A and B are shown apart, each in its own frame.
Chain A
Amino acid sequence: MAKAANSRIMCDLDWNKPGRQVSVLRVPQSRDDAGWGTVEIPIMVTAGSEARGKGPTVLFTGGVHGDEYEGQIAISRLARSLDPRRLKGRVIMIPAVDLPAALAGRRLCPLDNRDLNRCFPGDPRGTFCQMLAHYIDSVILPMVDVSVDVHSAGHSADSALSTNMHHRADATTMKRTLALAAAFGAPYNVVFWGVDEGATLTSSVERRQILSIGTELGGYGRVSVDGVRVAERGLANVLKHLGMIAGKPETAQADGAAGTRHMMVRDNVAYTFCPAEGLFEPRHTAGTSVKKGATAGLVHFVEDPSREPIELKYRQSGVLWMAMGPGRCRKGDTLAVVMRDYEGG
């Protein structure tokens, strides 16, 4: 059933077997020193027995970008600990989807220099990332009911700890997705409008009518201590919310709030872009409340210390969702994204 005739990726998993299976996706990668070489991407499937009753299939993915670590750690840990005897349904876990990028600590795959999350729905005759995207889209996604793709901001930025989702036209899907995000229980959930994301994993997931959320749980290319905790709790919360393991989602926040604060990024004024190459001095960290017109930061020119820095301002009030990471910035880079409270719709 789960075999795309034209995929070049091999996998010996029996997708319908109860219990716990540990295997790899074997992606052919011809090299000078290994013409029949393959890249092994760890995959774990844990499924409850029929006797425990039927449940949904959930896909947990981490490391779609190699330098986003919180999901890689949290999903690996879950894969080691999840007990099939206490599980209803099936959990498919791929902690580091773009494994070559994850091992290199980079966003892009070193094998083909591509962003896996810009390669969907993929191509079985394409490069490494295109092959991998095609396998996920055509073999794995048809089995999946709910997808949680765990990201953080990587080297590019730091993020306020959050889930995110696209705005969906269908009211029922919208409601179910908001409920899933609320169950995950990150400090924030961000609803996006009209983002051009046609080639992402999320877009493939949504085309197949699968319930879908993503996350942003840290960044700056390091492992966020809090981000790992939010990820671990969130993954367990999702399984509880779907009735797959016992218990109720725990959504209490460090600041005393009972649950997730729903936010949105609706239009372009949320973004502050870099006007010139230089060195960016931010004025706020991710998660800070900011005002429209306030200074977002300064672009400095160490190449010419006598040149005045360029001051950048926020174009809307809200909470800083994404704060630019590496000091050096180029014209057109996103330096700040401000989210504001969700207004429904």
Chain B
Amino acid sequence: MAAKTQAKTRVFSDVDYERKGKQATVLRVPQSRNDSGWGVVQIPITVLKNGKGPTVLLTGGVHGDEYESQIAISELARTLEPSSVQGRLIIIPALHYPAAVNGTRLSPIDNKDLNRCFPGRPEGTFADVLAHYVTEILLPITDVNLDLHSGGRAMEFVPSTTAHVLDDRAKMAETEALALAFGAPYHVVIKEVDAGYTFMTTCERRGVTAISSELGGGNRVSIPGLASTRRGIMNALKHLGVIRGKLDKSGPKTRVVTVPDYGCYAFAPQAGLFEAYHPLGAKVRKGEAAGALHFIDDPHRKPIIIDYGYSGELWCTRGQGQVSAGDPVAVLVAVR
């Protein structure tokens, strides 16, 4: 079965997922260019296998401008020795590599968001081919996926883990236990905008336990976000028994929160310059002004005041001044 799908992927690598020890190599994704018809894009991958235990797939940089995970996961790839691992760890610090080295959410190769390309297609563009490899080659051998995100350029978040609401109660409890071990300030059980073609949804369909995260953002490397990422990854791996040791509980106690409905999202009604009135984490009320949308080409036009549609805590704010119509400018969470 695996062999059949493997034959279809166009990605190749000398990695042997069944070999014991540590392998630091690359996935080669073919990318025909004018100056290199047989050119490939090399995506660093590190695999550690030892003893008995689950297989954990650890991915960062699915969006290129989300840096915290790229740094923390690179460190792990560099420093972890196979003797300290029980099970198998597949580490890809910058999965959507062309976007990561470009510092953008979308790939400069095909202008696609990798996290809207799952489960992928081998005959598609770069991002489709890559998503297909992850779905068909990596997920069948994966028990748990930690796919770490942050707010990138567009958004800024209170550091948090995220997971979807699942029909399978046992799976949901297992997922939540993993998130609590990770130990970010919030664990957000989310109804996401456009989740159908994401990595996490594909993991869920394949029965892989999956958590994701939002660990900073705002167009830079977040210092508290990175601290949360480093601590969280180690805690999650300890919780899963892949690494020995006690959980680091030095972070704040995790609060489980939800995004119950789309009322939690405040969207910009049109393009403009958004001025938020509250910092992240603020407690706000339904009907209260979230901020003002200014029109810089016509300073005498009154700004549009955007209200919160829900009472809760401010989890996410717009990470950039300029907004387009339909962009979220604030996302609220409710304490469960």
Across the interface, do B101 and A302 meet the contact criterion of CB distance under 8 Å?
Answer: yes
- A280: interface (CB < 8 Å): yes
| Alpha-carbon gap, A331 to B139, bound state (A) | 38
Instruction: Report whether B297 and A279 are in contact in the complex, using a CB–CB cutoff of 8 Å.
Output: no
Chain B residue contacts of A67, Cβ below 8 A:
321-322
Nearest CB on A from B334, distance (A): 23
Q: In angstroms, how far is the closest chain A Cβ from the Cβ of B298?
A: 7
Verify B77–A105 contact, CB threshold 8 A. no
How many residues on the B side are at the interface (Cβ–Cβ under 8 A)?
48
Number of contacting residues on A, CB 8 A?
Answer: 49
Q: How far is the CA of A116 from the CA of B320 in the complex (A)?
A: 21
Of the listed stretches B231-239, B260-268, B270-278, name the one at the interface; the rest are far from the partner chain: B270-278
Q: Decide if A302 touches B320 in the complex (CB within 8 Å).
A: no
Complex CA–CA separation, A223 to B292 (angstroms): 11
Q: Does B67 contact A (CB under 8 A)?
A: yes
On whether A221 and B319 interact (CB within 8 A), knowing A79-B299, A79-B300, the answer reads yes
Task: Let me know if A144 is at the binding interface, CB within 8 A.
Answer: no
Evaluate contact between A305 and B321: CB separation under 8 angstroms: no
B171 within 8 A of A: no
By a CB distance below 8 angstroms, the chain B residues around A99 are 296-297
Query: Is B252 located at the chain interface by the 8 A CB criterion?
Result: no
Q: How far is the CA of A302 from the CA of B91 in the complex (A)?
A: 12
- Interface presence of B103 (CB below 8 A): yes
What is the 8 Å Cβ interface bit string for chain B, positions 68-80, against chain A (1 contact, 0 not)? 0011011101100
Contact between A302 and B221, CB atoms less than 8 A apart = no
Q: Tell me how far the C-beta of A43 lies from the nearest C-beta in chain B, rounded to whole angstroms.
A: 9
Interface string of B94-107 (1 = CB under 8 A from A): 10000011110000
What is the CB-to-nearest-CB distance from B326 to chain A, in angstroms, rounded to a whole number? 16
Check A73–B297 contact: CB distance below 8 A: no
Contact with A326, one of B73, B103, B322 (Cβ below 8 angstroms):
B103
- Pick the contact of A223 from B44, B67, B103, B321 — CB < 8 Å? B321
Q: A67-B321, A306-B78 are in contact. Are A223 and B276 (CB under 8 A)?
A: yes
Cβ of A259 within 8 Å of any chain B Cβ, yes or no, is: no
Contact of A327 among B78, B93, B103 (CB under 8 A): B103
CB under 8 Å from chain B, chain A span 281-306: 281-285, 300-306
- Is there contact, CB below 8 Å, between B156 and A222? yes
Would A222 and B74 count as touching, CB distance under 8 A? no
A63 located at the interface, meaning its Cβ lies under 8 Å from any Cβ of chain B in the complex:
yes
Q: Is A302 in contact with B299, judged by CB distance below 8 angstroms?
A: no
Question: Does any Cβ of A come within 8 Å of B166's Cβ?
Answer: no
From B73, which residue of chain A is reached at the shortest CB distance? A305
Q: A306 and B77 in contact (CB under 8 A), knowing A67-B321, A79-B300, A279-B71?
A: yes
B15 contacts the other chain (CB 8 A): no
Give A contacts to B, CB under 8 Å: 22, 40, 42, 44, 63, 67, 69, 72-73, 75-76, 79-80, 95-96, 99, 102-105, 155, 158, 220-223, 225, 228, 279-285, 300-306, 308, 323-328
With A99-B296, A305-B78 given, name 11 new contacts (CB 8 A).
A67-B322, A95-B299, A96-B296, A222-B219, A300-B74, A301-B74, A323-B220, A326-B65, A327-B103, A328-B67, A328-B103
